[in-house]
A and B are shown apart, each in its own frame.
Chain A
């Protein structure tokens, strides 16, 4: 068959330098060679004689800094001129990974040969010969054993570091050892994009000296690239494959690399971790069963502005290339706003929407401030579980710096944990409808969250979520069935005690509360006097002879409560939100929850300035990257940088916490800290780690302390640091935080 086609393209400013006869891509083209230049700014028609299709043409636009190599298949009249190279070629769907690398480099070898001919292809025979040789011998490199992020073919070239100078500019630091006879004249870089286009970047000439900085302006920060060394004679002497450039320093996935480094426990140079982790991912891709990797991402876009990284075109195009579809989590009964309509459109336009996902598949569910980690899209989740929670890496939104890894507790095994673990990403296994179990794999990093880390404003400490008196009547009725006993440690002056009592009295549902105060004899008269003001269900007080016997009386008071919930309160506390007690009760009645604490906020001084902030937030297991021996139970300092939520913790704050009476009487008691005889401690947190249930701190509710100038003394807040001899115990039920050193 003999076809004559016209290519009608906008070649103004561009020059066609070569038309390639490509041996690699099947038997295909028999095309008459064309080599020439267009210099006028006009649309030109070029005549080609095609004997057989498809054909491939390489176009070099030489008037721009970055050269683009465009492969064009000429299939039919309809899609004539479109860039359909990979999609319609015999290779089929290209999957990011090893298979791709193999294909890509085979192509690039051919391309490189073209590049050497600066004025185009003049000798088809030469290409035939060389192409055949490559295909037959498979000689230059052994593709099956390729390792990434290092040069192959020339031992005198070494990548020392690579990082993003801006969102697209990847900068390499390369060491070149000059050896006679194998001089390197330039670096040449290629990148394959999702649509099958191969980009060829400018040659980076090698100057004198051994350390070279090579800047490559990527087309897409997620797409793999190849850096080659070109010798003085134009031949390619070495090649390095960078399959996941986003793992480089300052890249979108850099936090993942740091977290992996942290998990390994060893300290290697970043470049080495990058190399080994890239290889590890390639191996995962080669081994993975494609059907078991995630096919869909569900985003919770409740507070999304549409400017998050997940909605950047690069990210969407990367996910599309991986065959992942994206949809927004359903919002209950809310009319679709202009905002959500826009986001939906954004996703529809840029992401492949799998029309048929009827077959069992895995879904990755996360918040819209996140992007998926590389391992989450390539690895398959736990096959036996319907829900698999994972960790997230927290990064600053402005500077992109990774701050920490936040890991959910490992002993979560109930679907009611959705609300408590709402901040964590998870895998949903659609096929496991009948299974109700959840699981957790510590090493699974599912998402990277980009958040503003300036912390909360002053007002937000007092009302992390809007104050709302309107507790629904059904909830109110259900909470009424759970008797709430408030045990108030009131060993202070009456003036201070009165404030706490008053705030309890102003709580919603106060008439269902039983209040027991442990106080000193000198307060009794005052308490008798004011008793009539408070309309609690019951109001009693126990007189303690001295401060040092408070532990005994607290125990006595608690033992008198046989059922329902107990709220332990230390004096000084202001329940400034009228819903605080019922809000805590709402969480405490969950069978999986063993204790609930709010965050404690107030003013504190730094130098001469007074600031507002969190004084107590419960404790979590914290460690520092590359310091594996420093695991400890620390205050949950990160809580004010994260959105208000409910967090499983190793220990709540002992100033205010709510428990079931039965649990407390089984596991709880108070004692005095031997190192500080004024401080009460309780082994409750460590006693209950084996119970498989969780302690939670809610940052949606805060309790405040009066401004410090009103205080005679700060309340005795006990700390539980050191109370967990076995860190592994707390890991089962607590959020863990690993601080990353970026």
Chain B
């Protein structure tokens, strides 16, 4: 089976998400006959893999590729490992929520990293199956971990100094996480010192996170600390020499959906894990401390949770939380089962493309024309969007200002409701394609308000126009082209969606 991981850019391959979730399993998958390849979403024009897995691609092109792949009888799935979806009241994530809603009809499966995320995704109206693939950890040499653990325990016993590490992304543009959590829960580190061990905290994070405000807040940490800029090599070296990884987590949805990756990475580098805040790492309980006192007592006894005697248990815990072989096998089995079902389904499938009208928004991502043609996509422009003369369907204001005028290309006109197609007037143009034109007198639905806003490109005017015009346009298209699916292409950051989202949900009985 050829599995294509669809990614947003070339650079994405090197980021933690792709590195941990796909690159680590690449070789193992190959051993069981699943060949993994990466493809940047913008560059896809042909469908020649057996399965497509979308990773952090939430734009129109991705949606269209999903459509094309689905109609070609391929397996299509989305890997969701960050929770940008459960914050229903947060207008900042309307675009991704809407993308997910729109994409569901093309999907065969969801992949996610935690049971919590699975619970969220399982609640989908299409009953799309969800598979949890824990972040796989790199192969562990238990002998090495055991030796390193012993060395660290002896060092702590001798020096009474605990090297504690906090590592990872220090910030997030949308949520107060990372270093914010470190500061909020840093009282736990102080407790280590209260219990007789000196703490040296080393913070390894991205430079973007180190703003003036963050540095000021870090000053509140009650133990001595040092900050270094994150690098993969640096992380490995630091984890190898530190004794404890401090992993505080707040209880906001984004945080509690996170994987166990950091705890596993830390334990596999012979670190004890001190978890504060939300008990995210409960699945690794035998190797996770929930309070500093227990950690200190165990170190004083020379028997912290991770010690040479318990290393054998680590293998058992990893099997349930991120063992490379287990995760690979489980994923390949899941895909194979789906693939078998898909093949059976494909036998009865007619290999034709159903047309889609892509309604352009204020800020739409550009889709390659080759893909548009191949996926039978027809573009729709309106006063909300940039007016493109190449659009198949064009809504413009009429001169009287009482509504819209509609132009339909002859290519798109084939899908018109037969009852109304005769109402359109055909306009023939010299050396240019002809089209059908509809006025408010032909179709009363074209009577809409908003003409007075035509000259304004202010966010306020666009926002209102969007809220009122887009649902109206979708209604008109539904009436004129009852057999054609509509999609909205909108990347605008402003909170434009809820009216359309509501309408879409209603239409799809969601």
Contacts and interface: CB of A to CB of B under 8 A. Distances in A.
Contacts of A313: 187-188
A707 to B, nearest CB: 5
A64 B463 contact: no
Contact of B455 (A399, A454, A495, A505): A495
Interface stretch (B177-185, B231-239, B343-351, B379-387): B177-185
B91 A399 contact: no
A338 B117 CA distance: 12
B452 A502 contact: yes
B498 A503 contact: no
A286 to B, nearest CB: 31
Interface stretch (A45-53, A240-248, A370-378, A467-475): A467-475
A533 B402 contact: yes
A503 B453 CA distance: 8
A13 B184 contact: no
Interface stretch (A164-172, A177-185, A730-738): A164-172
B461 interface: yes
Given A167-B187, A313-B187, A574-B464, A63 B251 contact: no
Contact of A61 (B196, B302, B459): B196
A166 B221 contact: yes
Given A399-B213, A459-B493, A499-B461, A63 B160 contact: yes
A60 B93 CA distance: 56
Contacts of B190: 167-168, 217
B450 A10 contact: no
Nearest to A301: B251
Given A305-B252, A339-B256, A466 B495 contact: yes
B453 A502 contact: yes
A462 interface: yes
B196 A467 contact: no
A202 interface: no
B300 A13 contact: yes
Interface string B480-510: 0000000000000111101100100000000
Given A166-B220, A502-B451, A66 B194 contact: yes
Contact of B468 (A13, A63, A66, A506): A506
A307 B193 CA distance: 22
Given A61-B196, A167-B220, A312-B184, A502 B449 contact: yes
A167 B495 CA distance: 39
B467 A469 contact: yes
Interface string B222-257: 100000000000000000000000001011110110
A538 B398 CA distance: 25
A398 B216 contact: yes
A314 interface: yes
A467 B461 contact: no
Interface in B420-478: 449-453, 455-461, 463-464, 467-468
Interface in A235-263: none
A219 interface: yes
B214 interface: yes
Chain A facing B: main interface SS: loop
A392 to B, nearest CB: 20
A332 interface: no
A576 B194 CA distance: 56
Given A307-B184, A462-B494, A706 B116 contact: no
Contacts of B278: 306, 342
How many residues of B sit at the interface, in one of the four size bands?
35 or more
B445 to A, nearest CB: 16
Nearest to A574: B460
A517 interface: no
A167 B222 CA distance: 6
Given A305-B251, A339-B251, A466-B89, A506 B464 contact: yes
Contacts of A575: 464
B221 A167 contact: yes
B251 A503 contact: no
Contacts of A169: 222
**Most chain A CB atoms below 10 A, which of B89, B181, B453, B460:** B460
A498 B453 CA distance: 8
Interface string A449-476: 0001010011110110111111000000
Contacts of B92: 457, 459
B437 to A, nearest CB: 21
Contacts of A167: 186-187, 190, 220-222
A75 B187 CA distance: 32
A66 B92 CA distance: 48
Interface string B400-426: 011000000000000000000000000
A459 B173 CA distance: 14
A356 interface: no
Interface string B72-115: 00000000000000000111100000000000000000000000
Given A338-B251, A339-B253, A462 B184 contact: no
Contacts of B450: 502, 506
Given A467-B495, A499-B452, A307 B196 contact: no
A305 B181 CA distance: 10
B458 A459 contact: no
Nearest to A708: B458
Given A63-B160, A167-B220, A167-B222, A305 B250 contact: yes
A481 interface: no
A557 interface: no
A422 interface: no
A307 B180 contact: yes
B286 interface: no
B277 A399 contact: no
A532 interface: yes
Contacts of A400: 220
Contacts of B498: 466-469
A208 B86 CA distance: 62
B458 A706 contact: yes
B158 to A, nearest CB: 11
Given A399-B217, A469-B498, A576 B463 contact: yes
B381 to A, nearest CB: 21
A399 B213 CA distance: 7
B301 interface: yes
B297 interface: yes
A604 to B, nearest CB: 13
Contacts of A399: 213, 216-217
A354 B193 CA distance: 32
A562 interface: no
A304 B196 CA distance: 33
Contacts of A577: 463-464
A514 to B, nearest CB: 18
A63 B196 contact: yes
Interface string B266-309: 00000000000111000000000000000001001110000000
A47 to B, nearest CB: 23
Contacts of A12: 300-301
B219 interface: yes
B90 to A, nearest CB: 8
A299 to B, nearest CB: 14
Nearest to A68: B194
A338 B187 contact: no
Interface string A568-583: 0000001111100000
A707 B467 contact: no
A459 B460 contact: no
30 contacts: A13-B300, A61-B196, A64-B196, A65-B193, A166-B221, A167-B220, A168-B190, A305-B252, A307-B251, A307-B277, A339-B252, A399-B213, A400-B220, A457-B92, A459-B495, A462-B459, A466-B89, A468-B498, A469-B499, A495-B455, A499-B452, A503-B460, A506-B464, A506-B468, A574-B460, A576-B461, A577-B463, A578-B468, A706-B460, A710-B458
Given A219-B194, A578-B464, 6 more contacts: A168-B222, A499-B453, A577-B464, A578-B467, A705-B460, A707-B458
Q: Which 7 A-B pairs have the closest CB atoms?
A: A502-B452, A704-B460, A576-B460, A306-B251, A574-B460, A307-B184, A307-B250
